[in-house]
Amino acid sequence: MSTVLASREEGELLLVRLCVESRQLEEVLEALAGLPFPVNPDLRHSGLNSVVEFPAYESRLDSVNAALAPFELTAETRRMLDAIRA
């Protein structure tokens, strides 16, 4: 069985990863909740930082980065298929 993780209209499905200072985590999650699409983040904590990961289509990255701009954060991405295989 083969699965394609892409949408003709929205591009490839990506794994978005953010490294956030724990003191900013609540505000960053609030900003992500305001995006025009649902975000179901996976959270991991390491010391004073938190890692936030969630899937998003590549056409939506501009809105993700705009939501993160006040925090001076930029989303790191990789293909979801590569993330699943890793």
Q: How far is residue 63's CA from residue 12's CA, in Å, rounded to a whole number?
A: 16
Asked, for residue 10, whether it belongs to a domain, the answer is no
Q: What is the value of pTM for the model shown? A: 0.85
Q: If you average pLDDT over residues 52-58, what whole number do you get?
A: 95
DSSP SS3 for 85: helix
Asked, for residue 37, whether it belongs to a domain, the answer is yes
pLDDT band of 45, cuts 50, 70, 90: very high
Asked, for residue 3, whether it belongs to a domain, the answer is no
Asked, for residue 8, whether it belongs to a domain, the answer is no
Statement: residue 33 has pLDDT above 80: yes
Asked, for residue 70, whether it belongs to a domain, the answer is yes
Asked, for residue 6, whether it belongs to a domain, the answer is no
Report helix angle 61-68 to 25-33, nearest 10.
Answer: 140
Mind giving me the DSSP string for 16-71?
EEEEEEGGGHHHHHHHHHTSSS----EEEEETTEEEEEEEEEGGGHHHHHHHHGGG
In total, how many domains does the chain have? 1
Asked, for residue 14, whether it belongs to a domain, the answer is no
**Residue range of the domain that includes 35:** 19-85
Q: Which residue has the tokens 């890692």?
A: 51
